[in-house]
Structure 1
Amino acid sequence: MQHYHYIFTGSGLSALMTVYEMILSKKFNDKSILILDQNPKKNNDRTWCFWDEKQSFDEIVSKKWDVALFADENFRRDLDLHPNKYKMIRGLDFYNLVFDLISKQKNIRFANEKVIDFEELGNHCVVKTETQNYTCNKIFNSIYNPQIVKNQSKYPLLQQHFIGWFIQSEEKVFIPAKATFMDFSVEQKGNTRFMYVLPTSETEALLEYTLFSKDLLTKSAYENEIQDYIKKLGITNYKIIEKEQGNIPMTCYAFWKHNTKNIVNIGSAGGWTKASTGYTFANTIKKSKALIQFLSKETDFRKFHKKDKFWLYDLLFIDVLFRRNDLGSTVFSALFKKGNPTLIFKFLDEETSFWEDLQVIWKCPKGLFVRALLGRLFS
């Protein structure tokens, strides 16, 4: 069996970002690294967005916005994002960036194989694929097992699920300088539902029908809502350029408890998704950097976890939406109707002081969150 220092089971965002940070750090040039995935990452299968005031990944950012619209059935507000910009990265552009960098490294190999099992055996690990077995010192696992969360009840699981169409219309209806961050004016139907619109020109945009809820819909349910929304925009003639769909787990489940000395769970499998928003890209940048920093000092992956005040905030938010999924629009609208957008995004990036936290939290419906807190304290 071939032996490696590190094996990545899966090559999604978290794995590729971690490998990317390994390469940039130049501290792993003497370590053999294997990335295993049945998906060769040759297609544009997703879009990531994040707010940022730096120049993070600007070489592959396909569009930036200074203003984002928030709306519900009662009001509309343009959010000034300064000093941030809202950025969009196409999945394929990110894959190409990282794989091009990987191709120049003599110590890193990608194998297009499906992982079927892996385990820790004393001081080393074994990874089994459909065609062969490998051994290694450490495993970075990003293969998410939803049953781990579904088989317990302490931490509720919501899902951010969506279908998106990138369309080209004959009518000039979009404002290229303004993204639609959340539009809750769509019928809620007992859930938290909104449209998300990312215009790249007056005639082109990505439209995603998105839910934060327990259960998925049929494919036609998402697409019917997208079609209705397109009609409301005044578009009568258009063509679909690309489609994408996704399902992101939103939970505060303690994924780190499944880490072992030599196996660390990353990405959705490690709880790297921001539980209250489902945002992954910015969180993954932070987590991957922290993991590389950790590896320079520690060898036991059981020590790689952090539970802080933002974990508690997210937990209470998920508790509220899990119990009253019909009130998602109410919660978000209370936050964005009069709140300072810069401060809100700083809070969602987990970079605020406790005093700043209070300024954001105070805008939310207090009764819902007090009941959630009491429920946690006395459960």
Structure 2
Amino acid sequence: MKKYDFIIAGGGMAGLSLAYYLSQSPLRNRSILILEREAKTSNDRTWCFWERKNEPSRSEHESGMASRLTHFESILFRTWDIVSFHGTTYAGPIDMGAYQYKMLRGIDFYEFVQQELAKHPSIERKQATINRIKDTPQGGFVIADDEPYIADYVFDSTFLLKLDQPENHNLLQHFKGWVIKTEHICFDPQRPEIMDFRVAQHGDCRFIYVLPFDEQTALVEFTLFNDKLLTDDEYEVELRQYIDQFLNPGAYQISETEHGVIPMSDEAASEIPSDHIVRIGTSGGYTKASTGYTFQRTQRYLRTIVENLVKTGKPHRPAPWFARRFKLYDSIFLNVLEKHRHPADDLFTRVYTENPGRVFTFLDEETSFVEEVRLFTTMPFMPFLSAFFNVLRRKIVG
């Protein structure tokens, strides 16, 4: 049984990103094995995220880290400086200030990373189903397709969170989207619609986002934040109604379909559960509970892990104690949504329209406490106060 320096269990976004950062570091010649069940040869998902334009984030500046925004810049499918929003009391553009909204297609990411990894013979990739991962005194032990593997560290993105514990908030972000080609000109390629709440809410948080590729082509996606998935027909009915009512497309063709489910949970994830196993991606708690955003946070966290491996030989990613307040904020927001304490469409309208620029810094967890207090004053007081005490009761009393 060959022993590797690193085994990456799961070759999706998190696993491939880690392998890429290792390949760009002084650790590039270490023996690395990537185990992934799927070949990753299709455009199975799209990542959208905001990021500062050219300067380092606040945490990078304070830690002396150089700006790392260019790793995937060459393969971004679209980049926007202004986004549109359609809420309860406002419809129009939102100036992102120092941020840009970016779109990266899954197939472009997979092909780029796989081409880079192919340049390094020390990095192996095997298509296999992972059966078991455990820690041993000799290292992290993996069985995949009944074959044993061992490494100094196993980076695991396959571990499944429970998502059913009553003390936690366990919502889902689920969506279905179509790339459509329309007969009529109906999109502004310079302005995506990041949230359009002109769909029936049914007591949930439901919205459409529209990412234009050109004047007649766009990804139109129906998204929900709640705890119940819909049938395929229900997603499609909402998509067709929105397209027909608000886009005036004429005849249109559907060229691509995507569907996904992302946990929005404040379950405490253990990033390093044992000496030789490190959980990454959603498995390691990288998904921001209140938004479901994962891509950009995963990139930041994995870069830190690789930097620590280079400097100390250990993959620990220390987090300042005071930064834990953002987890409390996430829990409070999830509680407001879960208990329907205030209409979600109005909450998001307040967040985005009354906190221009600041909202993106806040969601990136880069704000100061004073800035956070200013943002909180734009939210409805009693629903959030009730949520705060309910979160404390659930987390402390259980």
Question: Which category of TM-score, normalised to the shorter sequence, fits these structures?
Answer: over 0.9
Residues in 1 aligned to 2:235 and 2:36: alpha-carbon distance in whole angstroms: 29
Could you tell me the TM-score, scaled by structure 1's length? Answer: 0.94
Residues in 2 aligned to 1:217 and 1:21: alpha-carbon distance in whole angstroms: 37
Contact persistence 2:331–2:391 (CA under 8 A):
no
Contact persistence 1:8–1:15 (CA under 8 A):
yes
Identity value in percent: 35
Q: What number of residue pairs does the alignment pair up?
A: 375
> What secondary structure sits across from 2:77 in the alignment?
strand
Match of 1:201 in 2: 214
Whichever residue aligns with residue 79 of structure 1, its letter is I
2:202 counterpart of 1:186:
no
Tell me the CA shift for residue 299 of structure 1.
Answer: 5.9
Q: Which residues in structure 2 correspond to 1:332-371 (within 5 Å)?
A: 332-340=348-356, 342-371=357-386
Residues in 2 aligned to 1:160 and 1:326: alpha-carbon distance in whole angstroms: 18
Q: Which residues in structure 2 correspond to 1:1-379 (within 5 Å)?
A: 1-25=1-25, 27-52=26-51, 53-54=53-54, 55-56=69-70, 57-146=72-161, 148-150=162-164, 152-232=165-245, 233-256=247-270, 259-297=273-311, 308-324=324-340, 327-340=343-356, 342-378=357-393, 379=397
Gaps of 5+ in 1: none
Residues in 2 aligned to 1:373 and 1:124: alpha-carbon distance in whole angstroms: 42
Mean alpha-carbon deviation: is it higher for 299-308 or for 206-215?
299-308
Show CA shifts across 1:153-181 (max 9, x none).
Answer: 22111111001101100110111111101
Mean alpha-carbon deviation: is it higher for 270-279 or for 257-266?
257-266
Whichever residue aligns with residue 170 of structure 1, its letter is E
Residues in 2 aligned to 1:243 and 1:321: alpha-carbon distance in whole angstroms: 28
Gaps of 5+ in 2: 55-68
Whichever residue aligns with residue 137 of structure 2, its letter is G
Decide whether aligned partners of structure 1 residues 108 and 184 sit closer, same or farther in structure 2, where only a CA change above 3 A counts.
Answer: same
Whichever residue aligns with residue 227 of structure 1, its letter is R
Residues in 2 aligned to 1:155 and 1:368: alpha-carbon distance in whole angstroms: 18
Show CA shifts across 1:50-83 (max 9, x none).
Answer: 1121353220011111221111254313101232
Residues in 2 aligned to 1:19 and 1:361: alpha-carbon distance in whole angstroms: 39
Contact persistence 2:304–2:317 (CA under 8 A):
no
Mean alpha-carbon deviation: is it higher for 297-306 or for 191-200?
297-306
Tell me the CA shift for residue 336 of structure 1.
Answer: 2.0
Tell me the CA shift for residue 131 of structure 1.
Answer: 4.5
Contact persistence 2:308–2:317 (CA under 8 A):
no
Tell me the CA shift for residue 330 of structure 1.
Answer: 2.0
Tell me the CA shift for residue 30 of structure 1.
Answer: 3.7
Residues in 1 aligned to 2:138 and 2:167: alpha-carbon distance in whole angstroms: 33
> What secondary structure sits across from 1:149 in the alignment?
coil
Residues in 2 aligned to 1:273 and 1:279: alpha-carbon distance in whole angstroms: 6
Contact persistence 2:75–2:108 (CA under 8 A):
yes
Residues in 2 aligned to 1:144 and 1:218: alpha-carbon distance in whole angstroms: 26
Residues in 1 aligned to 2:134 and 2:318: alpha-carbon distance in whole angstroms: 19
Decide whether aligned partners of structure 1 residues 126 and 214 sit closer, same or farther in structure 2, where only a CA change above 3 A counts.
Answer: same
Could you tell me the TM-score, scaled by structure 2's length? Answer: 0.90
> What secondary structure sits across from 2:42 in the alignment?
coil
> What secondary structure sits across from 1:109 in the alignment?
strand
Contact persistence 1:69–1:78 (CA under 8 A):
yes
Contact persistence 1:142–1:267 (CA under 8 A):
yes
What do you get for the CA RMSD once the two structures are aligned? 1.9
Decide whether aligned partners of structure 1 residues 3 and 325 sit closer, same or farther in structure 2, where only a CA change above 3 A counts.
Answer: farther
> What secondary structure sits across from 2:214 in the alignment?
coil
> What secondary structure sits across from 1:330 in the alignment?
helix
